[in-house]
Amino acid sequence: MVVVRALSFGARGAPRADQRFECAARAGDHFVVADLAGYPVAAGAWSGIVALFVHLPQPLRREVHARAVAGLRPGGVVILEAYTPAQVHFRTGGPVQQPELLMRLADLQQEFAGLEFLAARELEREVIEGSGHRGRAAVVQVIGRRPATHS
């Protein structure tokens, strides 16, 4: 069984997650929609965590990322993509009206301390993700793996 947890910070996220994971539920998979701010992450319980364009206020973001690192089992990975401060020049998506929510690679490397970075970069790329997210964009991409424990 696949367990998908769709977590949202904003009130708009839960209904969208319900719609997006409806097909998974029909296939017999299990999914949970919950509030990201208070969601408990058990230590060492997760094989993978994916955060795509999850722009949170910085104090909450630091807390969530620390919980993500602690929640990964040895060999588990975090995959993250988000807009950088340079995105304000493109305006092809993201919280450009709230630049404090945009992420820098250096900050993410600190927030994900303890992970081995398999990829960590800021770049410009084309996005095609719906009518409000189309065109050139400035993003940060991170793939981090919790080191395997040695016996």
Work out the angle at residue 129's Cα, subtended by the Cα atoms of residues 124 and 133, and round it to the nearest 5 degrees. Answer: 65
User: If you average pLDDT over residues 35-43, what whole number do you get?
Assistant: 85
Beta bridge partners, 34, equal 7
In the predicted structure, residue 138 carries a pLDDT above the cut 60: yes
Beta bridge partners, 141, equal 81, 121
Domain ranges of the chain: 1-39, 49-145
The reported pTM is: 0.83
- Which position has the higher pLDDT, 94 or 21? 94
Instruction: Identify the pLDDT of residue 35.
Output: 77
115 — pLDDT class (breaks 50, 70, 90): very high
Instruction: Identify the pLDDT of residue 18.
Output: 55
Instruction: Identify the pLDDT of residue 24.
Output: 54
CA 85 – CA 75 distance, rounded (Å): 31
User: If you average pLDDT over residues 83-93, what whole number do you get?
Assistant: 93
Asked: is 49-145 a CATH 3.40.50.300 domain? The reply is no
98 — pLDDT class (breaks 50, 70, 90): very high
Pairing of strands 134-145, 116-128: antiparallel
